[in-house]
Amino acid sequence: MVNIDGGFDLMENWLSSLSAVGGMAKKTIEAYRHDVSHFIHFISNHYGKRSSKAVLSKVNVKDMRSWISHARSSGLSPRSLARALSAIKSFYRWLGQTYGISTTAVLSTRTPKFEKPLPRPVKKSDAKNLINQIDIQSEKEWINARNVAVITLLYGCGLRISEALSLTFDQTPLPDILNIIGKGNKERIIPVLPIAQSAVKKYLKECPYSFLPGDYLFKGARGGPLNQRIIRKVMEQTRIQLGLPSTATPHSLRHSFATHLLEAGGDLRVIQELLGHASLSSTQAYTAVDQASLMSVYKKAHPKA
């Protein structure tokens, strides 16, 4: 590994190692670059010196408090601040392992507390109504069939919209078990419901375009790859027609998939695997949703509530 001294050069060396060894997603790399760049700029101005290995090694608890204060005064939300601190800590762990730099002050900095918003799933009946209503949005039947197939995969399999639109023609007819490459190039196995298989089969039957090996499964109106914005727009149009809240988005169908599985007695660990969450704590948010729903029913039904 090249011995680089400049702060930004060190950062790029670290990011390259993450990309090469960790297989980290490009969007995550860019987020890390953004957050750590701002930190290096701050430390450079704070010390009045060009950022370097020596300057970064001097960062102490007081400096970290100054950075947090600066970030907050700049309008950074607690959530964004927590994300930035996580990136900085990852950078310093690498500096410590690679160059022996002291990391105590940075790694001991506490992440600011913030309330994580609970997932906002749609009701089972609303999910069904959404799919039925989406089926009549376009004058072209094949586009309706395509949109229904995408939405069914989001709700029936818990896919992210990017994952659904990354499916290729080579993966059809959809098998009973589907291998999905999600965030961070993590692979997970998803059972495919017959209703999702049928929806995709109907779309392929009605699609006016031909497919070549390797083509994306879902095509746009002109035959190119389908853009996420189209599905988001269709979903927005449909939820307005049905009088559903603005939280009824394509991603909320993934939340609905998890919540409805949990309500039906699904195991939290299994749901974690199906969603592709790296940490169980991410999946545990759905237990709070379920509890909130139960308490709402309880308060309405219990005579002394």
Domain extents in the chain: 7-107, 124-253
251 part of the active site: yes
The DSSP secondary structure of 142-200, one letter per residue, reads: HHHHHHHHHHHHHHHH---HHHHTT-BGGG-S--SEEEEE-GGG-EEEEE--HHHHHHH
Q: Are both 7-107 and 124-253 of the same fold?
A: no
Predicted confidence band of residue 262 (pLDDT cuts 50, 70, 90): low
Res 179: pLDDT? 81
Say yes or no to pLDDT of 67 above 80.
yes
Q: Is the dihedral of CA 219, 223, 226, 232 positive or negative?
A: negative
32 part of the active site: no
110 part of the active site: no
Say yes or no to pLDDT of 288 above 50.
no
Mean pLDDT calculated for residue range 150-161: 86
Q: What is the pLDDT of residues 107-129, one digit of tens each?
A: 999 876 655 555 577 787 888 88
Which of 276, 91, 129, 249 is CA-nearest to residue 190?
276
203 part of the active site: no
- Report the percentage of the chain scoring pLDDT > 90: 37
Considering the entire predicted model, what is its pTM?
A: 0.56
Q: Specify the fold of 124-253.
A: hpI Integrase; Chain A (1.10.443)
Say yes or no to pLDDT of 194 above 80.
yes
Mean pLDDT calculated for residue range 229-243: 91
* Mean pLDDT score across all residues of the chain: 80
Cα-based torsion angle of the residue sequence 94, 97, 100, 101 in order, rounded to the nearest 10 degrees: 30
Between CA 166 and CA 103 the distance in angstroms is 40
Among 32, 92, 146, 160, the active-site one is: 160
CA angle 273, 14, 64 (to 5 degrees): 90
Exposed e or buried b per residue across 6-35, where buried means at least 16 C-beta atoms within 10 angstroms of its C-beta = ebbebbebbbeebeeeeebeeebeebbbeb
Predicted confidence band of residue 96 (pLDDT cuts 50, 70, 90): very high
- C-alpha radius of gyration, the chain, whole number: 24
Between CA 36 and CA 30 the distance in angstroms is 10
How far is CA 165 from its chain centroid? 15
Between CA 192 and CA 199 the distance in angstroms is 11
Among 33, 53, 93, 183, the active-site one is: 183
92 part of the active site: no
- Between these two residues, 231 and 291, which has the higher pLDDT value? 231
Among 146, 254, 255, 260, the active-site one is: 254
Res 155: pLDDT? 84
Q: How would CATH label the architecture of 7-107? A: Orthogonal Bundle (1.10)
